[in-house]
Amino acid sequence: MPVAKSNAAAVTGEGALPRHIAIVMDGNGRWAERRRKPRFAGHRAGVSTVRDAVQFCARRGVEVLTLFAFSSENWRRPAEEVGLLMNLFLTALQQEMRKLHDNGIRLRVTGDRDPFNPELRAMIEEAERLTATNKGMHLVIAANYGGRWDVVQAARMLAERVALGELRPEDITEATFADATCLAGLPEPDLFIRTGGDTRISNFLLWQLAYTELYFTETLWPDFDADAFEVALASYASRERRFGRTRHQVLAAKA
């Protein structure tokens, strides 16, 4: 059974749909191990689930889907597995970017690209350039990303603007800080989903998840199909999102 947790943030109501869904896609390795297959088989299966998730969200009218593909901590994994993951990322971009473009989906890859090899960096830039003017769903892939890295990058950017005289310290607000983070220009996530059974956010979108509804499920990522997605969306629709207000205030505002 899914384990659902709420950060008690306005009543969504039956049929409510999150504008932005963020997902930690966990459980690929365990999925493979349970089938006595190499861990990489699970990562391949996970790519197929990514494709299905993108299609599902686009059909349902979700505006933004952010997927945590590779964290800054994942470099600690065995070198062979990291190399295979990098090659899989490159291959997936090569195979999918034209399909994304044909379906009007805009791709953004966020994270520190410096450690990636030149071929992968070039492919990311090509995919982003190809889809930049599309008007459909935003697909954000977080690769070599960490929430603390994101906050530090934003702070550094603002500090540089202050040093150049472009910005006064007193002009730095939550809004200006948000505009310096990786999801600048996009709505904050309404729903966070983590598959695989762990109940933590693992350094993902630390700034942006302040009022996000959290949903955890034991389902491993390769098994997270449309039915599992519908369960997560039903959980979200049942939540009461108050953003610091009382229930009475929320209901009065909706009246």
The residues that are catalytic are 26, 74
State the residue for tokens 């009543």: 11
CB 30 within 8 A of CB 196: yes
Radius of gyration (C-alpha) of the chain in whole angstroms: 19
Nearest to 45 by CA among 28, 33, 30: 28
